[in-house]
Structure 1
């Protein structure tokens, strides 16, 4: 998936403090800081490549990876 700039983006996330860019490089991620039911939330927007769309249409799935030992509350959805 390719991260994209969205009209609602109002901030950018960089690598966490102390992150080893040589071991696992990360780049800046445009985000939208918002609230959901009174809770702070962060949204990033992604578009699948043509190959990924073909894989999804063939029955593939989307995998969400979170670095660490647990997974915070997350959501995936499709928006136009």
Structure 2
């Protein structure tokens, strides 16, 4: 998957770390809980994998697993 620039991004993570993708995120507080949201676009191969019954995989670097949420969003108009 390739990271996209999220609308109303509030910061960019790993902007100067060449070994990682720069990741634009939007910081929000929703119902008193801090959220950091990013947007990703599947590659054509990943779309084909999903269409043929594949799944989304989430990898967390390190040894602690933070709370995460994976959702979809509609295609841009």
Instruction: Using structure 1 for the length normalisation, give the TM-score.
Output: 0.81
The number of equivalent residue pairs is: 73
Tell me whether 1:64 sits opposite 2:58 in the alignment: yes
- Matches of 1:46 and 1:27 in 2, distance apart? 11
Give structure 1 regions of 4+ aligned residues with deviation exceeding 6 angstroms: none
- The root-mean-square deviation of aligned C-alpha atoms, in Å, is 1.7
Tell me whether 1:75 sits opposite 2:69 in the alignment: yes
Match of 2:43 among 39, 49, 56: 49
- Matches of 1:37 and 1:72 in 2, distance apart? 18
1:1-80 residue pairs with structure 2 within 5 A?
1-14=1-14, 25-80=19-74
CA shift, 1:41, in A, is 1.1
In the TM superposition, what whole-angstrom CA distance separates every residue of 1:10-66 from its partner, at most 9, and x where no partner exists? 211127xxx8x6xxx213210000113211110010010111001001111111111
